[in-house]
Structure 1
Amino acid sequence: MENILIPLMDNELSPRFDLAPEVLIISITRETSAMGTLSERVINFETPSAEAMYRLVMAENIQTIICAGMEKEVYEFLKRKGIKVLDNVCGPVDPILEAYLAGHLSSGQNYF
């Protein structure tokens, strides 16, 4: 199973990873190489913070983060933990998620 975290703000990627008011967590269970089951849930933060985001990433066993921007020290910390980070991605969630699932998403892409 792969767990993906996307920081949200109004159904778009939040401009800042650590200040997102909510996150979308997507769990993908691959049944065959081409087919899989996808489940989604949104988690809201009362007070967004880097600490709250770290706790969530670790508690949910997140393997991939897709985000617009994050501080360099946060990026380095997540990479040291073995988490794949696709950053500098901008736009609405749906086309970004579709690109990721198709294997076409990379850091620096803009979907506006």
Structure 2
Amino acid sequence: MVLHCVAAMVKRVLISLYGNDVAPRFDLATEVLIAAVGEDGKVVEEKILVLPQASAEKLCHMVLTEDVQAVICGAIEEEYHQYLTWKRVQVFDSVIGSAEAVLNRFRRGMLKPGDILFEREVKGDR
């Protein structure tokens, strides 16, 4: 029973990747980052999985088999968004930025669908 309570405090998130950034389209992602975030906001587990081919159906299946509670992605077809929501998975779509920046905002509880996170380059004084 204690193990069940500890597991309930961890939230698993899947980020569709394109390199080090959030993939622009969920259905074309061939890499994902799955992270487990504790109640204190610390990442307790992190892994990157490479898929043999891009498939929204296989990504949805992975979300369910990996016990993921939240998905962070760029564009996602309405059909998959509704399916994941129906399965009680929180979907943060239309997110742009590096996986690291997005995960940091998620673990602080500040990520919202549509967030654009990128660092601006400052070029000297104007």
- The TM-score normalised by the length of structure 2 is 0.81
Question: 2:66 — aligned with what?
Answer: 60
Alignment of 1:94-105 (within 5 A): 94-105=100-111
Question: 1:110 — aligned with what?
Answer: 116
Change (3 A) 1:37 1:74: closer
Report which of the two structures shows the higher radius of gyration computed on alpha carbons. Answer: 2
Inter-partner Cα distance in structure 2 for 1:106 and 1:35: 16
* 1:68-94 deviation digits (Å, cap 9, x = unpaired): 110011101111110000111101111
RMSD in angstroms over aligned alpha carbons?
Answer: 1.3
Secondary structure of the corresponding residue to residue 39 of structure 1: strand
Structure 2 residues not aligned, in runs of 5+: 1-9, 119-126
Question: 2:56 — aligned with what?
Answer: 50
Inter-partner Cα distance in structure 2 for 1:95 and 1:37: 13
* 1:23-60 deviation digits (Å, cap 9, x = unpaired): 00001233xxx364521000001111012112211110
- Opposite residue 70 of structure 2, the aligned amino acid is T
Matched, 1:3 2:3: no
Matched, 1:85 2:85: no
Change (3 A) 1:65 1:35: closer
Q: Which runs of 4+ in 1 moved over 3 A?
A: 34-37
> Aligned pairs, how many?
109
- Opposite residue 7 of structure 1, the aligned amino acid is S
